[in-house]
Copies of this chain bind each other. A is one copy, B any other.
Amino acid sequence: MSTVNHVPNQLLTRKLEAIFALTDDERQGIQGLPIQIKEFKTNQAIVQEGDCPSQCCMVLEGATCTYKMTIEGKRQILALHVPGDMPDLQSLHLKVLDINIASISTCKLGFIQHTDLRGLCERYPRLTAAFWRETLVHASIFREWLLNNGQRESYIRIAHLICELAVRLNAVGLVQDDSFKMPATQAELADATGVTPVHMNRVIKALRADGLISNKQSKITIPSWERLKEAGEFDSLYLHLLNKATDPVPTSEKEYH
Contact B146 A96 (CB under 8 A): no
Interface centre among A74, A125, A136 (most CB of B within 10 A): A136
**Interface residues contributed by chain A, number (CB under 8 Å):** 43
Contact B135 A135 (CB under 8 A): yes
- Residue-wise, chain A 116-153 has the 8 Å CB interface mask toward B (1 for contact) of 00000010010011001101111110111111011110
The oligomer's copy count stands at: 2
Residues of chain B contacted by A125 (CB below 8 angstroms): 122, 125, 128
Q: In residues 3-25 of chain A, which contact B (Cβ within 8 Å)?
A: none
Contact A147 B70 (CB under 8 A): yes
Chain B proximity of A80: nearest CB distance (Å): 13
Selected contact of A90 from candidates B74, B122, B139, B152, CB within 8 Å: B139
Among A180-188, A213-221, A232-240, which stretch is in contact with chain B?
A: A232-240
Contact B233 A129 (CB under 8 A): no
Contact B149 A240 (CB under 8 A): no
Contact B240 A94 (CB under 8 A): yes
Q: Is A75 an interface residue (CB 8 A)?
A: yes
Q: In residues 184-207 of chain A, which contact B (Cβ within 8 Å)?
A: 193-194
What CA separation (Å) do A145 and B68 show in the bound complex? 11
Q: Which residues of A contact B (CB under 8 A)?
A: 49, 66, 68, 70-71, 74-76, 78, 90, 93-94, 96, 98-99, 122, 125, 128-129, 132-133, 135-140, 142-147, 149-152, 193-194, 233, 237-238, 240
Which 3 A-B pairs rank lowest in CB-CB distance, beginning with the nearest? Answer: A150-B194, A139-B139, A142-B142
List 18 contacting pairs A-B, 8 Å CB cutoff, sorted by A: A66-B143, A68-B144, A70-B152, A78-B143, A90-B140, A93-B136, A94-B240, A96-B237, A96-B240, A99-B143, A125-B128, A128-B132, A132-B135, A136-B139, A142-B143, A146-B146, A149-B150, A150-B193
